[in-house]
Amino acid sequence: MKAPKNGSPGAGSTNRRSLLFLAKFLALLVALYALVAWNPVNDAVIVPFTAAIARVSGFLLNALGEKVSVAGTEIRSGNFGVQIENGCNGVEAALLFGSAVLAFPAPWRRRLIGLVGGFVAIQLLNFVRVVSLFWIGAHHPALFSSSHTVLWQSVIVLASVLLFLFWASRGEKPRAAGTAPDDVA
């Protein structure tokens, strides 16, 4: 089967679906960013979550032979310390991924599985990020800034986008004409 050409029947519905996805994605992204930026949510959810990231990262660093201590969202050794802040806790990348998954026309069960799996994958990658950045800062401080702002920020955002594309491409096969999809919104 050929894809419809511009101006042919079906091209308009494809464009409408794409625009609807984009509008839902942007609306969800703005709403979710506003929600986590709201002080009561930030203080009650995001800061404790970030402190948990610091504790797990500290545990991993100690297991790898670094002698670190953790206080709140700060990881410190004798010669180096980092404060994990919003933007470095994987939440923004998860919001990017989650907004795309929620906006995508798929059954809600599949979306929920995608949200959970994607969140876990992003957080696992973020632990690698935090641990490697701490190690770089402690042992190669001249490379810390570029590794933090250029390398790892790009990797986390790109991983979120690629993870969504992978998830979206693994959807159900197209249905036969005349059958309705299950719970698609």
In this prediction, residue 13 carries a pLDDT of 78
Percent of the chain topping pLDDT 90? 81
Q: For the whole model, what pTM was predicted?
A: 0.83
Q: Given a cut of 90, is residue 113 above it in pLDDT?
A: yes
| Confidence at 62, pLDDT banded by 50, 70, 90 | very high
| Average pLDDT for 156-185 | 75
Task: Kindly report, residue by residue over 143-167, the tens digit of the pLDDT.
Answer: 999 999 999 999 999 999 999 999 9
- CA 142 vs. chain centroid, Å, equals 28
Least confident of 65-69, 161-165, 179-183: 179-183
